[in-house]
A and B are shown apart, each in its own frame.
Chain A
């Protein structure tokens, strides 16, 4: 019961972070700032959801698997953010893509 409550609270807070990330994606004025929003807010959102789901896990292996997923997404997110930022920096923001 307590575990369920904790899960619900953590997931709800996580959803707020996802919403904030999307809000930043839509509202921030340039690519770099949008990258900030998407990378950081979404990673915290996923972290909170993963933490919430850990209370529902059936064993330590499940917990470690969730943790592994979070770490992988974290690594992917920060790497992707850096690569997009670097490409925008070197190629300019409005290269011909159409």
Chain B
């Protein structure tokens, strides 16, 4: 499976199909410029090679066939980001506490969970983030049935997973609202 697409660059929005190409090209060029600036510093941004790379990146997104735009809801992203940062920190804290405790208080178990998220980016993100939440590790996905490993079988894993699923659902437009058919990505 692909790594989750959490880039630090701003992504172009989700406008109609017709306008999306131009905006996507501008967005790609801006992202390329930002990346160049981050990697090489602002003096390097005016070099001919940098300008060439940025223009090429922008025009490549005009020439190449467009993929499906990422149906993100920008307004819900800060909430998801804060939720993720907080819970991944708690996850590290939790597992560190268990690992350093002389009594080794872990009670591992396997748990299954059926998610309602659609295949593609939302489900990929869900699988990735689950592994960083406190005490959960995503093992396998069959259809929409997720097999997890939990460190503490007494912990309320389901509530945490449902909370995460709601956050992710809020951050993506449901593709079923926009178009009827959407080819599922093989897990």
Q: Which residues of A contact B (CB under 8 A)?
A: 16-17, 19-21, 23-24, 27-30, 32-33, 35-37, 39-41, 43-45, 47, 61, 64-65, 67-68, 71, 74-76, 78-79, 81-83, 85-86, 89-90
Query: In the complex, which residues of chain B have a beta carbon less than 8 angstroms from the beta carbon of A39?
Result: 131-132, 137
Q: Smallest CB–CB gap between B47 and chain A, Å?
A: 15
Most chain B CB inside 10 Å of its own CB: which residue of A71, A74, A76: A74
B96 closest partner in A (C-beta): A20
> Which residue of chain A has its CB nearest to the CB of B3?
A75
CB pair A27–B127 under 8 Å, yes or no, is no
The answer to whether A27 touches B104 (Cβ under 8 A) is yes
Enumerate chain A residues within 8 angstroms of B92, measured Cβ to Cβ: 17, 40-41, 43-45, 47
5 cross-chain CB contacts under 8 A: A28-B106, A32-B149, A44-B91, A44-B96, A47-B92
Contact A78 B151 (CB under 8 A): no
Is B99 in contact with A23, judged by CB distance below 8 angstroms?
yes
Cβ-defined contact, A44 with B88, below 8 A = yes
Q: Does any Cβ of A come within 8 Å of B64's Cβ?
A: no
Q: How far is the CA of A30 from the CA of B107 in the complex (A)?
A: 11
Residues of A within 8 A of B180 (CB): none
Counting chain A CB atoms within 10 Å of each CB, the highest count among B99, B127, B135, B138 belongs to B99
Please determine whether B99 and A28 come into contact, CB atoms closer than 8 angstroms.
yes
- C-alpha gap A46/B39 in the complex (Å): 20
- Chain B residue at minimum C-beta to C-beta distance from A46: B92
Is B140 in contact with chain A by the CB < 8 A criterion?
yes
Contact A44 B8 (CB under 8 A): no
Q: Select one of A44, A74, A76, A82 contacting B1, CB under 8 A.
A: A82
- Asked, given contacts A82-B138, A86-B139, whether A41 binds B95 with beta carbons under 8 Å apart, the answer is yes
User: B96 to A32, Cβ gap below 8 A?
Assistant: no
Are A21 and B96 in contact (CB-based, < 8 A)?
yes
- Which residues of chain A are near B134, meaning CB under 8 Å? 40
Interface centre among A28, A76, A78 (most CB of B within 10 A): A78
